[in-house]
Amino acid sequence: MIVIFKQNANQKDIESLCRGFEANGLSIHESKGAHTHIIGLVGDTSSVDIDWVRANSAVEDVRRVSEPYKQANRKFHPEDTVVDVCGRKIGGGHFAVIAGPCSVESEAQIIDVAKAVQKSGASLLRGGAFKPRTSPYAFQGMRAEGLELLREAREATGMPIVTEIMNTEHIPMFEDVDVIQVGARNMQNFELLKELGRLDKPILLKRGLSATIEEWLMSAEYIMAGGNKNVILCERGIRTFETSMRNTLDISAIPMLKSKTHLPVVVDPSHAAGIAWMVEPLAMAAVAAGADGLMVEVHNDPAHAKCDGAQSLTPEAFDDLMQKVRSAAAFFHKVL
């Protein structure tokens, strides 16, 4: 951590601050120029509250040099984490496709879609039971009943299920779910993250709409700090000024995450653009950029889907996509 002092800072304030750092076991390296006075703190600065330092009247600015996340940090864990979901592996060269409808709508729908995506080669089934919707008047999901139908679809196909949680109170209902998803709007629902850190189930953590990569990794850290190391990161597009698509897929996040963390990274091209015909090129780009998997919305009747129909593929289009994904994954040295 580097502390930059104000030009006219009071020497007594500086000294008092430095004594405080030393009392916390940090050593201080000073660098003083004509217009600048800087100290570098050496030691474990994760206990130092950057705001506390910044509030000191002698301080102009404070900058972290080392990342504030530890469990998620590749520096301290150079090997790729491979998350194993009932035998389906994600990360470390293993590529997985998670597919299914935006929301579970009926027994027939979820079982149909499950069978179709399984046949095409998806390894996990997704489906929303609890739906975060912008409008209180929109369909809110089948909730507990939707979870039950997902379990039926798992029974019918053997595919592990991935579904979104929105509230700590629902955790008991998710006991039998294989991967719990945290949606973009809950990426900084810290109470939820803490509780999920106490489980031993894989968590799929979607990036918040305007979360920086560091904030996202700090949310993963919340889960990991509680003891749950099985976190899968999911890039799903960020909010920018561009209006021709729903979100802007941050493709650079994939290599950047790969350098900063050992956790697997999957990409959701369906939510990123919000347009079905863009799913294929974005999926190809994700594979090429080094993603460990994809999350794709598939619906047997997109025009009558209860949500996000505009971005859902038909089972036929998904089957076509999977052939291309399989071939591209092999080209980019991944095992599907």
Residue 288 binding a copy of itself, by CB under 8 A:
yes
User: Which residue type sits at 270?
Assistant: S
CA atoms within 13 A on the CB side of 172: 1
Site for a copy of itself in 172-211 (CB under 8 A): 185-186, 188-194, 209-210
Q: Does 63 bind a copy of itself (CB under 8 A)?
A: yes
Place of tokens 């089957």: 319
Closest CA to 69 of 46, 40, 43: 46
- Which is nearest to 5 in space by CA: 49, 41, 35? 35
Given a contact cutoff of 8 angstroms between Cβ atoms, the answer to whether 206 and 187 are in contact is yes
Least separation, in Å, of the C-beta of 137 and a copy of itself? 6
Cβ–Cβ under 8 Å, residues 274 and 264: no
Q: Check: CB of residue 187 under 8 Å from CB of residue 211.
A: yes
Q: Which is nearer to a copy of itself, 65 or 335 (CB)?
A: 65
State the nearest-atom distance from the C-beta of 163 to a copy of itself, in Å: 15
CA neighbours closer than 13 Å in the CB half-sphere of residue 318 = 31
Q: Please, which residue, 139 or 158, has the CB nearer to a copy of itself? A: 139
AA letter at 158: G
Binding mask 245-274 vs a copy of itself (x if CB under 8 A, - otherwise)?
Answer: x--xxxxxxxxx--x------------xx-
Least Å from the CB of residue 110 to a copy of itself: 18
Look up tokens 């149909």; give the residue: 112
Q: One symbol per residue from 113 to 152: x for binding a copy of itself (CB under 8 A), - otherwise; what is it?
A: -----------------x-xxxxxxxxx------------
The minimum distance between CB 306 and a copy of itself, in angstroms, equals: 7
Residues of span 296-315 touching a copy of itself by CB under 8 A? 302-310, 312
Verify binding: residue 33, a copy of itself, rule CB under 8 A.
yes
User: Could you give the CA distance from residue 148 to residue 155 in angstroms, rounded to a whole number?
Assistant: 11
Amino acid found at 183: G
Written as six digits, the tokens of 56 are 């000191």
CB nearer a copy of itself, residue 14 or residue 159: 14
- Give 285's DSSP letter: H
With CB under 8 A as the contact rule, which of the stretches 43-51, 78-86, 121-129, 144-152 interacts with a copy of itself?
A: 43-51
Q: How far is the CB of 241 from a copy of itself (least distance, A)?
A: 5
Per DSSP, 121 falls in state T
Find the binder of a copy of itself among 68, 93, 158, 227 (CB under 8 A): 68
164 binds a copy of itself (CB under 8 A): no
Give the pair of three-digit tokens for residue 297.
């919305």
Q: Is 52 helix (H, G, I), strand (E, B) or coil?
A: helix
Contact 250, 268 (CB under 8 A): no
CB of 66 to a copy of itself, least distance (A): 6
Site mask, a copy of itself, residues 83-112, x = CB under 8 A?
Answer: ------------------------------
Select the span of 48-56, 93-101, 108-116, 144-152 touching a copy of itself (CB under 8 A): 48-56
Q: Which is nearer to a copy of itself, 16 or 84 (CB)?
A: 16
Of the residues 85, 97, 150, 166, which one makes contact with a copy of itself according to CB under 8 A: 166
DSSP 137: T
